[in-house]
Each structure stands twice: as C-alpha cells, then as structure tokens.
C-alpha cells in the first residue's frame, strides 16, 4: 500500500479518532470493482497532501464493527474525520477532484 495505511476495528480509535489532522477513511472490500478504481487516486492524493491529511483504508469484511458503527451501506464509502468526528461522506467511485474537495471540506 504506498502512502495509504490499513486500519482495523482495533486500531480505528488511535489511527483515526485521535489523529491530530483530518483523516480520510476509505471503507472498501476486496470484491468491490469501484474500490479498485478509487484506490490509485487515493494513493496519489495521500502522496500529494500528506502534510494536511492522513488517508487510511478499512476493509469492511475484515472489520465489520467500525463499518456498522458509521452505517456504511455501500462501498466504496469515503468519510473524512476531523477531531474524532465524521465531517462528510461520499459513496461510490469519484474523480480525483471530488475526492480532493471532500478532504478540503475538513481542512
């Protein structure tokens, strides 16, 4: 995984909720075609904006608790967290510009 980081139910609180900068969480699944389209865009953005945001990936099949807590109904769902709270979410594969706008909404 290059610039993005995998998180789990166990590490979600420390990696996302307690982060000192905004965190974009990619709720994804292995079987999800659109998730594979979004993944390289997130890697690019993670490299370009690493000083402003952390981008993490949470596999919903391996980590159902967190997905349930945040009512993730479809994948990919991308949620930006700031100060431990979800700020905004989008579902589905989106172009890079929309992903950057989602991140900027929390900066």
Closest alpha carbon to 80 in 54, 58, 47, 49: 54
pLDDT of residue 2: 58
1 confidence band (pLDDT: 50, 70, 90):
very low
Q: Which of 16, 35, 58, 106 is catalytic?
A: 35
Q: What is the mean pLDDT of the chain?
A: 95
Is 58 in contact with 25 (CB distance < 8 Å)? yes
**Domains contained in the chain, number:** 1
29 confidence band (pLDDT: 50, 70, 90):
very high
Range of the domain at 31: 5-105
Q: What is the pTM of this model?
A: 0.95
CATH number (domain holding residue 23) = 3.40.30.10
Q: What are phi and psi of 64, to 5 degrees?
A: -70, -25
Distance between CA 44 and CA 37 in Å, rounded? 12
35 is known as an active-site residue: yes
pLDDT of residue 77: 98
Other CB atoms within a 10 A radius of the CB of residue 19 amount to: 17
Q: Which of 7, 23, 24, 32 is catalytic?
A: 32
% of the chain beyond a pLDDT of 90: 97
Q: What is the pLDDT of residues 48-88, one digit of tens each?
A: 999 999 999 999 999 999 999 999 999 999 999 999 999 99
93 is known as an active-site residue: no
């Amino acid at each position: 995984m290059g610039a993005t980081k995998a998180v789990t139910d166990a590490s979600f609180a420390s990696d996302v909720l307690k982060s000192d900068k905004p965190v974009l969480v990619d709720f994804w699944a292995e079987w999800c075609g659109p998730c594979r389209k979004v993944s390289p865009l997130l890697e690019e953005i993670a490299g370009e904006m690493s000083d402003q945001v952390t981008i993490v990936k949470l596999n919903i099949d391996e980590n159902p608790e967190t997905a349930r807590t945040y009512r993730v109904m479809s994948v990919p769902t991308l949620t930006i967290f700031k100060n431990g709270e979800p700020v905004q979410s989008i579902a589905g594969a989106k172009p890079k510009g929309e992903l950057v706008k989602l991140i900027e909404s929390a900066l």
